[in-house]
Chains A and B, each alone.
Chain A
Amino acid sequence: QKEVEQNSGPLSVPEGAIASLNCTYSDRGSQSFFWYRQYSGKSPELIMFIYSNGDKEDGRFTAQLNKASQYVSLLIRDSQPSDSATYLCAVNRGGSARQLTFGSGTQLTVLP
């Protein structure tokens, strides 16, 4: 079992729709969770982080965490073509090194 799993996609949604991206993780001791967006040929940039069970909203983005189910998701409301990118889920398992373990990413395409 991979430590952090994401559906590779590609995921296509029409403009204005809600895009739902999912991530599961294997280590129950994981403490914090990050969503990075990566445009083609560019470096990852952080869009959300969450460390408590429940929802966290930031503009059009909502991160959802369920530690009992070892599941974290990202919802993008009112999707725009500019949201087309690969979304990487990353998990911090704690420890002094603050290491992140990344999933392989979900490629999202928002169709005009």
Chain B
Amino acid sequence: NAGVTQTPKFRILKIGQSMTLQCAQDMNHNYMYWYRQDPGMGLKLIYYSVGAGITDKGEVPNGYNVSRSTTEDFPLRLELAAPSQTSVYFCASSYGLGTGVYNEQFFGPGTRLTVL
């Protein structure tokens, strides 16, 4: 199993450009998440999905969009990139089964994005 994969690893965008960060998992997880991590900070939830066709906003959704057409893929779209979106982006997934008392999230390797 590859686990959670993300592409690209690095990207530099100019202000106003758009791009899609790709995320895929091969663990048949129902739940998928997008986080951003700014230097010296924890992870902030951007969007999440509890299954194909179902997405919802997290703590910091402005400037981003997502879709979930399959169980495996959960791309994150940045429209009109701004310097404030310079960050490391992590995708994660989890089973989302059981009582929900505990639920490990598995993380991808991250995408380091710089907006100039």
**Beta-carbon contact of A103 and B42 below 8 Å:** yes
Q: How many residues of B sit at the interface, in one of the four size bands?
A: 20 to 34
Q: How many A-B residue pairs have CB under 8 A?
A: 65
> Which residues A23-54 have CB closer than 8 A to chain B?
31-32, 34, 42-46, 49, 51
Q: How many residues of A contact B (CB 8 A)?
A: 26
CB-based contact B104/A46 at 8 Å: yes
B106 to chain A, nearest CB (A): 8
Knowing A43-B110, A97-B48 are in contact, say whether A92-B103 is a contact too (CB < 8 A): yes
Give the CA-CA distance A92 to B44 in the complex, in Å.
14
Q: Is A98 within 8 A of B31, CB to CB?
A: yes
A70 to chain B, nearest CB (A): 17
Nearest residue, chain B, Cβ from A50: B102
Q: Which of B93-112 contact A (CB under 8 A)?
A: 94, 96, 100-110
Residues 59-100 of B at the A interface (beta carbon under 8 Å): 90, 94, 96, 100
Query: Quick one: CB contact mask for B9-53 with A, threshold 8 Å, 1 for yes?
Result: 000000000000000000000010101000011111100101000
Set of chain B residues within 8 Å of A81, measured between Cβ atoms: none
**B50 lies within 8 A of A43 (CB):** no
CA distance in complex: A32, B103 (Å) = 8
Within 8 A of B (CB), among A86-102: 88, 92, 94-102
- A62 contacts the other chain (CB 8 A): no
Q: Knowing A51-B101, A96-B100 are in contact, say whether A88-B42 is a contact too (CB < 8 A).
A: yes
The docked-state distance in angstroms from the alpha carbon of A92 to that of B45 is 13
By a beta-carbon cutoff of 8 Å, the part of chain A in contact with chain B is 4, 8, 31-32, 34, 42-46, 49, 51, 88, 92, 94-105
Q: A31-B102, A49-B104, A98-B94 are in contact. List 14 more A-B contacts (CB 8 A).
A: A31-B100, A42-B110, A43-B110, A45-B107, A49-B102, A51-B102, A88-B43, A92-B101, A92-B102, A95-B100, A99-B48, A99-B58, A100-B105, A103-B42
